[in-house]
Every structure is written in C-alpha cells, then in structure tokens.
Copies of this chain bind each other. A is one copy, B any other.
Amino acid sequence: MRIHLINPNTTSGMTETIRNAGVTIAAADTRITASQPISGPVSIEGHFDEAISAVGVLDEILRLDQETDQPDAYVLACFGDPGLLAAREATRAPVIGIAEAAFHMATLISTRFSVVTTLGRTVIIAEHLLDQYGFRHHCRRVRAAEIPVLDLEDDSDRALEKIIEEGIRARDEDGIGAIVLGCGGMANLTDTISREVGLPVVEGVTAAVKLAEALVGLKLATSKVGDLAFPRPKPFTGHYAHLSDLDLNRRNS
C-alpha cells in the first residue's frame, strides 16, 4: 500500500517533518511518500494562501495518479484541508485532510476537545471546517498560540513552548478530554505536548495516515457517483490549458 502525503505549502523542510511523521506511524506494509507542489506559498496562513495552495494540491494528485505505482490514498497535510473536495473529484483514491482526520479521531476518544492552532487569523478556517464536518459542538474552542507557521521550523523551541502554554490553558479552562493540534508542521511535537499538558493529543498527519490505511484496507474509494465524480472534461485556458479535456473517467478506467 502506498500513501502519499501532500504538503500543500512549498517548504521542503515541512514536507520532511510530515514525511517523517507519516513514516513513523505507518504500518509495516505501507509505503509513505511525500511531496510538495512546485508552485505555491511557503506557508498557509489564511484564505488567500489556501486558495493558491489548492491548485498545487490538484497538480500533485494529477501527476501522481499517472505514476505506474499510483498512490492508494492521499493525505492533504495542511490543517485547512485546502482543496479537499476538489481533490476527491480528481482521483478515485481516498483523500484525507489532516483537519478532518484529527477531528474524527478526537471524537472517538473524548466527548469534547479544543484545537490549538498557529495564528489567530486561521481560527476562522478551523471553525468553518468544524461546521462543515459536523463537529462544531464537539469542539469547545479553537485557540491560537499566535505563532507564524514557519516558526515551527525556524524557532521551534519557542513555538513548542507557546503551544504547550495554550494547551495548558485549554486543559484548565475548556472542560475537555483531548487537544487537537492545528497545523501539519506540529506533527513531530505530539508526544511532548501530550506529556506536558497531560491530555491525549490528536495530530492530523498521523491521524490521516491511519485513516487512509483504514479506507484502503476497507477497499473504500471516493464515490464516483454524484458530486465527487471525476470532473467533466472541458477546455481550460492559459496556465491551465494542460487540464483541457482531461477525461479522468477514461484515464482511470
């Protein structure tokens, strides 16, 4: 089984963090690969960055789906799950976002959780996802540690400290049983944060890898009946001319 992790931003160091998290957690017979788009923002810290990165995600999926050993499942390793439904249209393979993965898992081990994410301006993104996925009431609060995403790479000790501080506030004030980490770049911090905060900590990259393994094991693929069917073939212009008349239905049959 091959699971491919797409880091939707273009920072290769973060791709490595994510790949390592995936490799560590994967089953013995799961092969983890990882990549980032060629084009896009170095970090995703708002709706604008998300919109750009979604196209990079789609490019990666279309490219990888043509490899001879095409992935059996994809993980979108950014907590906003950018382009998730579009990605599901583009491939028959299951596609899991790390935000959804973490939310799902958190509801299985606790009745209420809080999220600790990076910047305050991304809180709304997590709130919108909680609404869309149905977990609004399972989440007591989305909290921001107020650290820029790349500080997870560049100033990791200080970043860790601030996440732990916010996690402790969540534990003491929110009446929760678990914490969800709100950034793919935190994938290597799970154990430390859990130990320091004293609560189970659900991290999305690892959660998504295991959910992807589960779906593949179940032989459940993205439904190609209805709104997640392959995109209708049609002309595209300009930069996207290569997508013209892309008949994924035929290509994947």
Hey, which bits of chain A sit against chain B, CB under 8 A?
Answer: 10, 25, 27-29, 37-43, 45-52, 54-56, 58, 83, 85-86, 88-90, 94, 96, 100, 104-105, 107-112, 120-125, 128, 131-138, 148, 171, 175-178, 198-200, 202, 206-207, 210-211, 213-215, 217-218, 220-223, 225-229, 231-232, 234-241, 243
- A231 with B131: CB separation less than 8 A: no
Determine how close the nearest CB of chain B comes to the CB of A61; give it in whole angstroms: 10
Compute how far the CA of A54 lies from the CA of B28 in the bound complex, rounded to whole angstroms.
36
Contact status of A134 and B133, CB under 8 A, knowing A40-B236, A49-B231, A238-B39: yes
**A88 / chain B contacts, CB cutoff of 8 Å:** 47, 109
Compute how far the CA of A88 lies from the CA of B42 in the bound complex, rounded to whole angstroms.
21
Q: What is the chain B residue whose CB lies nearest that of A202? A: B220
**A199 / chain B contacts, CB cutoff of 8 Å:** 223, 225
Compute how far the CA of A58 lies from the CA of B73 in the bound complex, rounded to whole angstroms.
30
- A47 with B89: CB separation less than 8 A: yes
- B25 with A217: CB separation less than 8 A: yes
Determine how close the nearest CB of chain B comes to the CB of A170; give it in whole angstroms: 11
Q: What is the chain B residue whose CB lies nearest that of A178? A: B223
Compute how far the CA of A199 lies from the CA of B240 in the bound complex, rounded to whole angstroms.
32
